Amino acid sequence: MPLYPLFADLRDRPVLVVGGGPVAERKAAALIVAGARVRVGAPELTASLRARVEAGEVRWIEGTFTGAWLDEAWLVVAATGDRRVNRAIAAAAEDRCILVNVVDDPALCSFHVPALVRRGLLTLAISSAGQAPVLASRLRARLETVLDESLGALSELAGRYRLRIREAFPDVTQRRRFYAWLLDGPVAPLLGRHREAEALRTLEQALQTPHAIARAGRVTLVGAGPGDPGLLTLKALRALQRADVIVHDRLVDAAILDLARRDAERIDVGKRSGEDHAATQRRIHDLLHAHAAAGRHVVRLKGGDPFVFGRGGEELEFLRARGVDYEVVPGVSAAMACAAYAGIPLTHREHAQSVHLLTAHCKDSIDTLDWRALARERQTLALYMGVAQLEHLTERMLAHGRDGDTPFALVENGSRPGQRVVTGCLRDLPALARRHDVRAPAMLILGEVAALAPQLAWFGAAIHPDTDLADAA
């Protein structure tokens, strides 16, 4: 039979915990949070329970269990670890009509303690009626990932405005619609961004001019990371699960798009053949604007981090100029991911004190770089979009004094199932890239730290430095 769920108000009500070990300690702590007057009965206590007794948070009944301990108790938790004693406690509680929980012994329980997800005062409780506690706790972990932290602040706000909302919307249907707006509209994201004053203003305004409530659209600029879906942030996942429309680059993995809300519209905005970059970018701007203006929540999903060679800045400038609300969720950039997945620490006390993220996707951009500075030793260069320019790069680095023995690692498809890492030293870089036919997307990591890759590698195929260039030249 399913259990009857209830949330008990234990403020200032006496509750008995029997047992003085670590389990009793955890149970007592949870009861203290709920404001119960906790008494702990046991011959001995853990140091931290003792500290609670000294702090006046818990009263200690020293000794072994007797029925008299149950006098006045509203609830009992048996956490002695001794089945016989627990059984006696359960029987005594039953006699006196007091609800009892026996830790890890559902057959002896008259109440169960659920797995919890908490956001402020908002509490989700999960129970399997003691049948599958592990399942319940896995489900709890899953819910933790999808529910935004700002829900706590939102529920407190809803509590504070409850009467005003009731007055403003005496009609139940209207009130429901208002709460839907409160949950899905602009207030929750403002709270999530710690803009409490603005959230309050928005709420006040909605109460004063309820007819003007429209579902305001917005854009969340989200970094999808380098490919491995596990590298998404919780915020990225939550945004994907709430999106109405997802505007994504071609480089974003299908496995990541699979995590999005099923009925979200997906739009691939990769460059079309014959279209130049400026035209692509204009098309993207217009799409974002049009969908947000129509009241939709748009997720603009980009590979890696949106602010690292991702044109995220340009997109936000465009949206800002048109008054579209936005937020940004950073992603793991390819340099960080490729370094980590190839076993290369980007900085190292002995080998590199700085990291440069740079791009050289064409001859023009190569010519604008400060080669003298980049060629200094004991620093790491991470080069984006550079596969076609390795020859130029090598030539410039050597010309500006970087040692031809400087180690490099080329990481192709970093963090993905097909990741390949080619290592060697600077003077052989173009030849090795050609020999191994390295293709985009690939990241060049150049600097002393790259020598660590063969030792520290842990992902994908093992790395064998290629030093035999006899037939590569």
- Size of interface with ligand SAH, in residues (CB under 6 A): 23
- Using CB under 6 A as the binding rule, whether residue 315 contacts ligand SAH is answered as no
Q: Which of 465, 457, 395 is nearest to 435 (CA)?
A: 465
CB of 361 to ligand SAH, least distance (A): 8
> Is 230 annotated to bind ligand?
no
CB of 47 to ligand SAH, least distance (A): 48
Binds ligand SAH by CB under 6 A, chosen from 80, 101, 128, 333: 333
Query: Is 59 within 8 Å of 135 (Cβ atoms)?
Result: no
- Euclidean distance between CA atoms 8 and 2, whole angstroms: 18
Q: Would you call the peptide bond into 229 cis, given omega within 30 degrees of 0 as the criterion?
A: no
DSSP label at residue 389: G
CB of 443 to ligand SAH, least distance (A): 4
CB of 326 to ligand SAH, least distance (A): 17
- What binding mask, one character per residue, do residues 381-410 give for ligand SAH by CB under 6 A, x or -? ---xx-------------------------
CB of 362 to ligand SAH, least distance (A): 12
Cβ-proximal residue to ligand SAH, closest one: 304
- Residue number, 192 or 303, with CB nearest to ligand SAH: 303
- Using CB under 6 A as the binding rule, whether residue 77 contacts ligand SAH is answered as no
- Euclidean distance between CA atoms 316 and 319, whole angstroms: 5
- Using CB under 6 A as the binding rule, whether residue 344 contacts ligand SAH is answered as no
> Is 304 annotated to bind ligand?
yes
- Phi first, then psi: give them for residue 223, nearest 5 degrees: -85, 125
- Euclidean distance between CA atoms 269 and 310, whole angstroms: 13
Query: b/e map of 173-206 (b: 16 or more CB within 10 Å)?
Result: eeeeebeebbeebbbbbbbbeeeeeebbebbeeb
> Is 22 annotated to bind ligand?
yes
Task: Tell me the angle at which helices 150-160 and 172-184 cross, rounded to the nearest 10 degrees.
Answer: 150
Please give the positions annotated as active site: 249, 271
- Using CB under 6 A as the binding rule, whether residue 150 contacts ligand SAH is answered as no
- Euclidean distance between CA atoms 118 and 199, whole angstroms: 22
Binds ligand SAH by CB under 6 A, chosen from 108, 334, 374, 463: 334
Task: Please give the C-alpha separations between residue 105 and each of 6, 83, 128, in angstroms, as whole numbers.
Answer: 20, 9, 14
> Is 418 annotated to bind ligand?
no
Binds ligand SAH by CB under 6 A, chosen from 20, 133, 192, 414: 414
DSSP label at residue 225: B
CB of 218 to ligand SAH, least distance (A): 21
Binds ligand SAH by CB under 6 A, chosen from 242, 416, 420, 423: 416
Binds ligand SAH by CB under 6 A, chosen from 150, 220, 389, 413: 413
> Is 454 annotated to bind ligand?
no
Q: Which of 327, 335, 326, 330 is nearest to 355 (CA)?
A: 335
- Euclidean distance between CA atoms 24 and 45, whole angstroms: 9
| Residues flagged as binding site for S-adenosyl-L-methionine | 226, 303-305, 308, 333-334, 385, 414
Binding site for ligand SAH (CB under 6 A): 226-227, 302-305, 308-310, 333-334, 338, 384-385, 411, 413-416, 440-443
